[in-house]
Chains A and B, each alone.
Chain A
Amino acid sequence: GNSVTQMEGPVTLSEEAFLTINCTYTATGYPSLFWYVQYPGEGLQLLLKATKADDKGSNKGFEATYRKETTSFHLEKGSVQVSDSAVYFCALSVKGGSYIPTFGRGTSLIVHP
């Protein structure tokens, strides 16, 4: 079956620090990969996505590269802000399947001034 593994949180950083949130996956088929973000009291929203190997998704200073050889899609940002404090979910969905996405458990990010 399909699965997504994310690093345990919370991740606590000071403002302007470098961020990495690890995500690895297993999939029966060729997946599309996503990062969603959930701000307090809100639903999840798409942060970025990549649909084929070596693609890089990017948005709001965040980026992640689809690495098929290591089955990974790590999220990075060069300089985090307090406003980036949220929960980040890695997810996949497989083409040709039922299109039901598989989500990781989520990683909480706390950024201090």
Chain B
Amino acid sequence: DAGVIQSPRHEVTEMGQEVTLRCKPISGHNSLFWYRQTMMRGLELLIYFNNNVPIDDSGMPEDRFSAKMPNASFSTLKIQPSEPRDSAVYFCASSLGTAGETQYFGPGTRLLVL
């Protein structure tokens, strides 16, 4: 298996622009997670999907952030409008969705908002 695939790997944009991050989970995994990682705040869970349904989005910072999972093999995280404080590494992870199961992380998208 190719593992969790994220695109783009790097994104540089200007404040106010829309940013869309993409994730393809491992085939057969039914849970998908979006995380944000910064030096100041560490690793933060943004949203969790189970069987394509958002279960917990309490970590989504504000209305500028939205996430979708239209099918089992694709998810997007959108920021509109983007702000400099959104600069971070965004990770997607997938798992089989039980407590003892390993999370598999993608390589991350490094976002810089100027």
Contact = CB atoms under 8 A, between A and B. Distances in A.
Contact of B102 (A49, A96, A100): A49
Nearest to B59: A100
Interface of B: 4, 31, 33, 42-43, 45, 48, 50, 55-56, 91, 93, 95, 97-108
A100 B45 contact: yes
A44 B43 CA distance: 10
B35 to A, nearest CB: 9
A78 interface: no
Interface residues on A, range: 20 to 34
A99 B106 contact: no
Q: Return the 10 tightest CB-CB contacts between A and B, nearest first.
A: A43-B105, A95-B99, A32-B100, A93-B99, A51-B100, A44-B105, A46-B102, A105-B42, A99-B99, A43-B107
A97 B100 CA distance: 11
Contact of A46 (B45, B103, B108): B103
